[in-house]
Amino acid sequence: MHLLAGNTLAGFCFEKEHKMATKDNVLKTLISSSDKYINGEELAKTLGISRAAVWKAVKSLQKEGYTIDAVTNKGYRLTDDNDILNAELVKSKLDEDIEVIYYPTIDSTNTQAKRLINEGKTNTMLLICDEQTNGRGRQGKSFYSPALTGIYMTYVTHPMTALQNAVTATTAAAVAVCKAIEELTDKKPKIKWVNDVYLGDKKICGILTEAVTDFETQTVTSVIIGIGMNIKTIDFPSDVENAASLGANIRRADLIAAIARELHAINNSKYNEFIDYYRTHSLIIGEKINFIQNERVTPATTVAIDETGGLVVELENGEQTVLRSGEISIRKR
């Protein structure tokens, strides 16, 4: 009896895994052929499965939310309005050697990246998800990450070449986000030092950069760049201040891939090739601000962004000082 039950369970598990593999393979083929129809017979022959298995896989994908055209005598095609995330879809948009890892729901992509590093992962990674249940921002703040309305991604490299510390990596990430938005939309984003991207006077994107350091050598072994952007979030919690969404008709996979491409390009370029872009997109140069450090509020006027991404400010007594990232917050007066 027990042996029979075990064999039955094993058979069920094998069948379930086989169906999932078939569905995943059908999806991969549709993604790679998204610019044209592929007929069921060709799909079956390519994958070494039956026409019935193809039909069942397509129906399963449609139930999951994928929009797939099925036209008699033409076949199947993923439509352009799909806003579904998965690793294969994002990977198909990248030429770079980046491992893409997808999670439907995760506590935090940055936290998961640390877990993977602790497990010994040393390759360049891009972690993406539909929803974060414990998204993190700077200074211990949370980042609101509802399902399917934003992009929540973490780019990991070991170590950065151009981006050797948190300030430069955060600066680069802000540039990558703005360039990707400008590439794919008609929006004109600006950067609020050091880690926020704005449209008008509203924040649409936050960046959290974390470095992993070797205890013995005190060198940076990994840099983790977390990016959270509101794409079509409408309702924000009462404790989320001054937030808005990108509001563009754009697929999340396209924007994630564009940001990853920009980050990869910056990581292999010279620092001064993107710091000038950062300066021209600064939201606060010439503005009167209060900066908050160690709970102390100091009035100042912003003057410039220096060569390493620091914010040069002039105090009320005329002296100039440079703010570094750390635990500093700034507010316009």
pLDDT digits (tens, 9 = 90+) for 21-35: 888 899 888 888 877
Task: Assign domain 288-332 to a CATH class.
Answer: mainly beta
What gap in Å lies between CA 51 and CA 43, rounded to an integer? 8
Quick one: angle between helices 2-32 and 40-47, nearest 10?
120
Residue 16 has a pLDDT of 47
Backbone angles phi, psi at 82, to 5 degrees: -65, 130
**SS3 call for 45:** helix
What gap in Å lies between CA 198 and CA 38, rounded to an integer? 42
Looking at the chain, the number of H-run helices and the number of E-run strands are: 8, 14
CATH 3.30.930.10 residue window(s) in the chain: 87-280
User: To which CATH superfamily is domain 87-280 assigned?
Assistant: Bira Bifunctional Protein; Domain 2 (3.30.930.10)
Backbone angles phi, psi at 137, to 5 degrees: -120, -170
pLDDT, tens digit, for every residue of 306-315? 988 889 999 9
What's the mean pLDDT when you consider all of the chain? 88
Backbone angles phi, psi at 60, to 5 degrees: -65, -45
Q: Which two tokens stand for residue 186?
A: 């008609």
From first to last of its 333 residues, what are the pLDDT tens digits of the chain? 455 555 554 444 445 455 668 888 998 888 888 779 999 999 999 999 999 999 999 999 888 878 899 999 999 998 877 888 989 889 989 988 999 999 999 999 999 999 999 999 999 999 999 999 999 987 778 899 999 899 999 999 987 555 556 678 888 999 999 999 999 999 999 999 988 999 999 999 999 999 888 878 778 889 999 999 999 998 999 889 899 999 999 999 999 999 999 998 887 776 677 889 999 999 999 999 999 988 899 999 999 999 888 899 999 999 999 998 666 888 888
CATH 1.10.10.10 residue window(s) in the chain: 2-78
CATH 2.30.30.100 residue window(s) in the chain: 288-332
Q: Is the dihedral of CA 277, 278, 284, 287 positive or negative?
A: negative
Task: Assign domain 2-78 to a CATH class.
Answer: mainly alpha
DSSP for residue 159? S
Q: Where are the beta strands (DSSP E) in 214-287?
A: 220-230
